[in-house]
Amino acid sequence: MRRAWRAARLSLAVWAASCAFAALGGPRTLSALWASGDGVQVAAEQISGAQAPIDRMSDAPGFPYALAAAVAAALVLGLTATVLEGGVLVTAERRSPRAAWGGRLPGALAPYLVHGPAGLAMAVLWRSPYGPAAALLVLLPMYVCACGFVLYRRESAAHQATIRALVQAVDIKDRYTRGHSERVGRASAMIARELGMSGERLEALRIAGILHDVGKLGVPTRLLRKNGPLTPDERRVIELHPEYGDEMVRGIGFLGEARAAILHHHERLDGSGYPYGLAGAQIPEFARVVAVADAFDAMTSTRTYSRARPVPTAVEELKRCAGSQFDPRMVGALTRALDRHGWHAAVTADAPEERGNVPAEPAPPLVRAAAPGAP
């Protein structure tokens, strides 16, 4: 099914690009070039940088027009493919249009805008008196560019596979917080967009939210799944999970600023957090974002020690603790993002019988929900 969809998406994109190329007179211009040996020669000299004689330049069939049509066709091809891909994310995965298309266009269009005109230039050079050897001058850079793009995609896929493996390991160990990491990543990205972040920094913050609890792999499973309150000694063990996480990801170079969030997302603005008791601006920006996203999802998800709170109640609790526990700027950013996009909350346990002894009383205050023993 997925292969069929990809083939259909590419077919529709190619059809739209060919329509755009024809509407701008690209085929007519190329036909004129092929019919005139001098026209092909002049176009080839324009591509290669050679200066054609003035009398021959005046008779040239207009290669720049064909190039403009090729650029437009490449643009339409990239736009159509990206719009269709984002449409699937919106309809099938229920992502917001901003999440589906925001920030994707520049990266998606770049390969088409490079390879389309380059392919046209290679075709013109191939038909020119310079012959196939001249076309190789265009083909070789295209090949190098394509190899670099493939390597980039493979590296990106390897990064995503690394992240998925770590998150799945945490979810398997702590079944009560299944899905929590992905939601914290989504909430962190919502805050980041409100703060004006984009591109690589936005992606790094999303990854920071996803991996913030990876250090729980070093915490005994019996403590993570304990239904009752933690003893002081057990709490101290769990408070080590940010440092465990930092050690685990130390060798993963692509994480960048995300490491700071993994280590410091339990620090508090007033200095009462852990592991190092940082305060105010000493806490890295990524950590301050993830701290708010983490507490928000903890309150709006059902846990062993609390039932899910309504989103407005959770937001009010965040506002109450802004300035002491959380950065008010991050709380404000999340509030604006929720007003604009809403939030699709879900319980983290798989089924009622697996949730253990969930208390019937109202959810505890935020300071407990975000306490060291809380997931």
CATH numbers and ranges of domains, the chain: 2-154 (no CATH), 175-369 (1.10.3210.10)
Q: Which two tokens stand for residue 314?
A: 């959770």
Please, are residues 105 and 75 in contact by the beta-carbon 8 Å criterion? no
Average pLDDT, the chain: 76
pLDDT tens figures, 98-120: 666 665 666 667 777 777 777 77
The whole-number pLDDT of residue 254 equals 76
Residue 358 in this model has a pLDDT that exceeds 70? no
Rounded mean pLDDT, 130-139 = 69
Average pLDDT over residues 326-338: 95
Identify which of 247, 286, 269, 375 has the alpha carbon closest to the alpha carbon of residue 328. 269
Percent share of the chain, pLDDT over 70: 71
Average of pLDDT values for 11-30?
Answer: 82
Q: Which of 50-54, 252-256, 277-281 is predicted with the least confidence, judged by mean pLDDT?
A: 50-54
pLDDT > 60? residue 347: no
- pLDDT of 348 > 60? The answer is no
Q: Are 292 and 326 in contact (CB under 8 A)?
A: yes
- 8 A C-beta contact, residue 178 and residue 348: yes
Residue 280 has pLDDT above 80, yes or no: yes
Report yes or no: 216 and 187 within 8 Å, Cβ to Cβ.
no
- Of the listed ranges 94-98, 304-308, 347-351, the one predicted with least confidence: 347-351
Query: Model's pTM, two decimal places?
Result: 0.62
pLDDT at 102: 63
Q: What angle do CA 119, 125, 129 make, to 5 degrees?
A: 165
- Split at pLDDT 50, 70, 90, the class of 90 is confident
SS3 annotation, 160-198: HHHHHHHHHHHHHHCHHHCCHHHHHHHHHHHHHHHCCCC
Using alpha carbons, select from 131, 124, 128, 138 the residue that is nearest to residue 67: 124
* 8 Å CB contact between 236 and 180: no
pLDDT exceeds cutoff 60 at 360: no
pLDDT (tens digit, 9 = 90+) per residue, 21-48? 788 877 777 666 555 554 444 455 545 5
The pLDDT assigned to 187 comes to 94
Whether the per-residue pLDDT at 237 is higher than 70: the answer is: yes
Q: What angle in degrees, to the nearest 10, is found between the helix axes of 199-211 and 285-299? A: 50
Nearest to 198 by CA among 283, 107, 78: 107
Among 86-90, 136-140, 226-230, 232-236, top mean pLDDT goes to 232-236
d(CA 375, CA 192): 22
* Band of residue 243 on the pLDDT scale cut at 50, 70, 90: very high
For 363, what's the count of Cα atoms within 13 Å in the CB-facing half-sphere?
A: 25
The sign of the dihedral angle between the CA atoms of 242, 248, 250, 254 is: negative
Pick from 149, 254, 177: nearest CA to 208: 254
The more confident residue out of 91 and 327 is: 327
**pLDDT value of position 83:** 83
Cα dist from 32 to 28, 29, 60, whole Å: 6, 5, 9
Phi-psi region of 25 (alpha: psi -120 to 50; beta: other; left: phi over 0): left
Residues 282-321 have pLDDT tens digits of 999 999 999 999 999 989 887 666 677 899 999 999 999 9
Quickly state the pLDDT bin for 221 (edges 50, 70, 90). Answer: confident
Top-confidence range, 128-137, 294-303, 355-364: 294-303
